[in-house]
Amino acid sequence: MATITPDETDTAAETDEQVLDEERDAFVDKFPTEARLTRWTFLVAFVALGIGGLFGLIQALHRTGAFRGFVSSADYYTILTGHGVLLVLVFTTFFISGFFNWAITRSLDRGSVDPRVEYGGFAMLLVGTVLAAVAILGGLFDSVPLSADVLFTFYPPLQAHPAFYIGAALIVVGSWVVGLGWFRRFWAWRKNNADERIPLQAFMVLTTMVMWYVATIGVAIEVVVFLIPWSLGLIQTVDPILARTLFWFFGHPVVYFWLLPAYLAWYTIMPKLAGGRLFSDPLARIVFVLFVLLSTPVGFHHQYVDPGIPEGFKFVAMTNTMFLLLPSLLTAFTVVASLEHAGRQQGGSGRLGWLKTLPWGKPAFSGMALAGLMFAAGGFSGMINAGMNINYLVHNTLWVPGHFHLTVGTAFALTAMAASYWLVPQITGKRLQLRGVAAIQPYMWFLGMTLMSNAMHRAGLIGVPRRTAEPQYEAFNYAQTVGGYGEMRIQIALGGTLLFVALVMFLAVMFATILAGKGGNLRVNSEFPEPLSGADDAPKVLDNLRLWAVFALLLVALAYGFPIYSMIQSGALDPSIPAVPVSLAGWLPI
């Protein structure tokens, strides 16, 4: 078992300041090229988070009617598109690229085979982001002939400027290229370590990427084969249901592309921060393999109320979706067991007394733990969404964004922020600044999200729609409930404001750290304790990535082959439905 160097606590004596630079054991010193790539991806991620979060604040105030002075209600949808794209496409993809780049480097203990691959992927991500962002923000200015007010889901026949689709495609392809760099590292490592188990973090990165390659087939076909040629005028028409089907082929597994990096943090980093170790390495591997297999053949559960899709396909997707609960339920067990072990190691006792000994003052720990707690709540509202019949009540209501602000908006985003408090010092060689601000920031986020999300869920139940600038109508009132819609609006506006404050606090800590001088010993390091039950206990077949990729593709073929074939049979390739460009439409009530 490796010797463990525990992370210093926040209250550690300041004597380590005196340790000389040469004695530092920082990731940045060992892998400078890889650390630089991670720094760049994090920088873009944080800028996207800041702008996307500001857009979120504008929306929370606008749609609740608290303040509508930022934009007109017509431009609300530009802000909404920017919020979605910047947060769930740009922030996530950049952060994950940097985070996984750290994880696989540390885990395989080797740098890139050829850094031009990873940096090339990063350049594609960046160009794609600029193209998409320019197309979206052009919608705010009448003088700019660009617009992409098509939201993050870009359903045709609403048509954005081609730059939007090309940018989105480059972001996806860029992530493929960065992933290729990681696989090349793995193959090189395998040559020298033929019989070794894949180190756990590398296993998690690689399985997540296998899932991602399978999942992005759908959106790649949608954008490259249909939407780009269509927006350039090369083809005249796109079938809306076929496009939606291809989008949701990708649109559900993409949430696991966000979630699995959080799981990586919860499984490998959080137990160490808590002063313990992972409970079970084999279970972690099984969980990630289950996600490879089950993440993709479920997309029809976003289309339960779509016309043009037979009920049987929806039922199959519902069944798959329910089984997708299993790996998350197993994760809940393993992560909580690891934390309980840590708590008891620190002297905690009793049924729940071990909770008190966990390091709640460390933002890296508290952020991940609170994110996990909110993910449990988000998981339960997700079960409702997956319920084919009860979904009638919540589909496209405010319940749905209420749900995913707990998942991607907290399970992922708060975990990413928490991981940054711990990782940014290691990739910059600088100590974390504004530690007091950092210590309360996760609690601020938790409070803001509690207010906003519970009110969004409840508002959804009385039929308040999502994705609208003014969800109040002259002709009718929503059903009366406890507290009424007015109380929910106040909570949403207040919660959104607190979330923005928490975001500013996070960014202040990050930029203060990035701008701080180097020097001194870091209080954190990337060494991990061995799990209680190690990799040797896991069946070897779990490490057979090729096998799982083939099974995943087979399941996708089963779930999607016949539905897409039957759509094409009924004319989906020649639907003769005219495009409706958003840039020309303007506000023309008919």
Partner 1 sequence: MEIHRYEKAWFVAGMVLIVGFIATIAYGAVGPGIAMVDDSGGTVGADPIANGNWNSTDAFREPGVYRTGENSFDVYIVAQRFAFNPGTGEPVRLPTGSEVTFYVASADVMHGFNIAGTNVNVMVAPGQVSEMTARFDEAGTYGIVCHEYCGAGHHDMAGTLEVVPQSEYDYEAANSEQREQLRTLQGGDR
Q: Catalytic residue numbers? A: 252, 256, 403-405, 466-467
Place of tokens 């994950």: 96
Could you give the residue ranges of the DSSP H alpha helices within 109-252?
A: 115-137, 162-192, 200-220, 228-231, 240-251
Contacts with 161 (C-beta within 8 Å, 6 or more apart), sequence order:
135, 138, 146, 147, 148, 231, 583
Q: How many CB atoms lie within 10 A of CB 17?
A: 10
Query: For partner 1, which stretch binds (CB under 8 A), given 259-267, 403-411, 472-480, 500-508?
Result: 472-480
Binding test (CB under 8 A) with partner 1, winner from 537, 544, 561, 568: 537
Place of tokens 């910059």: 428
Instruction: Report CA 90 to chain centroid distance, whole Å.
Output: 10
- Which residues within the stretch 479-508 sit at the binding site for partner 1 (CB under 8 A)? 479
Q: CB of residue 414 vs partner 1: minimum separation in angstroms? A: 25
386 binds partner 1 (CB under 8 A): yes
Per-residue interface string for the shown chain with partner 1, residues 180-209, x marking contact by CB under 8 A? ------------------------------
- Which residues within the stretch 251-280 sit at the binding site for partner 1 (CB under 8 A)? 279-280
C-beta of residue 185 within 8 angstroms of C-beta of residue 108? yes
- Which residues within the stretch 437-466 sit at the binding site for partner 1 (CB under 8 A)? 461-466
* d(C-alpha 256, C-alpha 291), whole Å: 8
Q: Which is nearer to partner 1, 49 or 223 (CB)?
A: 223
Query: For partner 1, which stretch binds (CB under 8 A), given 204-212, 330-338, 357-365, 447-455?
Result: 330-338
C-beta of residue 227 within 8 angstroms of C-beta of residue 154? yes
304 binds partner 1 (CB under 8 A): yes
Q: CB of residue 27 vs partner 1: minimum separation in angstroms? A: 32
307 binds partner 1 (CB under 8 A): yes
Q: Which is nearer to partner 1, 11 or 569 (CB)?
A: 569
Cα separation values, 349 from 27, 339, 396, Å: 35, 13, 45
- Which residues within the stretch 546-585 sit at the binding site for partner 1 (CB under 8 A)? 570-571, 575-578, 580, 582, 585
SS3 (DSSP) at 415: helix
Query: Residue 328 corresponds to which amino acid?
Result: S
Residue count, binding to partner 1 (CB under 8 A): 85
Q: CB of residue 11 vs partner 1: minimum separation in angstroms? A: 34
Per-residue interface string for the shown chain with partner 1, residues 130-169, x marking contact by CB under 8 A? -------------------x-x---x-xx-----------
Q: Which is nearer to partner 1, 136 or 503 (CB)?
A: 136
469 binds partner 1 (CB under 8 A): yes
Q: CB of residue 283 vs partner 1: minimum separation in angstroms? A: 7
376 binds partner 1 (CB under 8 A): no
**Dihedral sign from CA coordinates of 435, 506, 448, 373:** negative
C-beta of residue 305 within 8 angstroms of C-beta of residue 395? yes
Q: Which is nearer to partner 1, 23 or 536 (CB)?
A: 536
Per-residue interface string for the shown chain with partner 1, residues 334-353, x marking contact by CB under 8 A? x--x----------------
Tokens of 551: 């099974």
- Which residues within the stretch 66-125 sit at the binding site for partner 1 (CB under 8 A)? 73-74, 76-77, 80
Q: CB of residue 360 vs partner 1: minimum separation in angstroms? A: 25
311 binds partner 1 (CB under 8 A): yes
Could you give the residue ranges of the DSSP H alpha helices within 221-324?
A: 228-231, 240-251, 253-264, 270-273, 281-294, 311-323
Q: Which is nearer to partner 1, 120 or 308 (CB)?
A: 308
* d(C-alpha 280, C-alpha 365), whole Å: 19
* d(C-alpha 552, C-alpha 83), whole Å: 32
Binding test (CB under 8 A) with partner 1, winner from 178, 318, 339, 358: 318
Q: Which is nearer to partner 1, 344 or 395 (CB)?
A: 395
- Which residues within the stretch 209-248 sit at the binding site for partner 1 (CB under 8 A)? 239-241, 244
Using the CB atoms, write b or e for 244-279: b if 16+ within 10 Å. Answer: bbbbbbbbbbbbbbbbbbbbbbbbbbbbbbbbbbbb
Binding test (CB under 8 A) with partner 1, winner from 224, 376, 393, 504: 393
**Dihedral sign from CA coordinates of 566, 567, 571, 574:** negative
Q: How many CB atoms lie within 10 A of CB 588?
A: 6
Binding test (CB under 8 A) with partner 1, winner from 30, 68, 395, 523: 395
